[in-house]
Amino acid sequence: MLGKLFRSDPRRDLTRRYEAALRAARDLQRAGDVVAAAAKTSEADELRRALEALDRQASR
């Protein structure tokens, strides 16, 4: 019973990682590191795609 209560939600985890990546990309861009910001933005895009795939899978 407690296992269900404390089970992690993959969507919430992906959302947190996606938002953190976007914040990091913003901060890198503001600091002037365009190359690192582009890499972090690319990482955020991959996480967004994973979120969308999870949403599509859940809607079936």
Instruction: Delimit the domains of the chain by residue range.
Output: 11-59
pLDDT in tens, 10-38: 899 999 999 999 999 999 999 999 999 99
Give 49's Cβ-side CA count (13 Å radius). Answer: 6
Residue 27 confidence (pLDDT): 98
CA angle 47, 20, 7 (to 5 degrees): 70
Confidence label for 5 from pLDDT (cuts 50, 70 and 90)? low
Confidence label for 53 from pLDDT (cuts 50, 70 and 90)? very high
Residue 58 confidence (pLDDT): 84
Q: Look up residue 46 and give its two tokens.
A: 């991959």
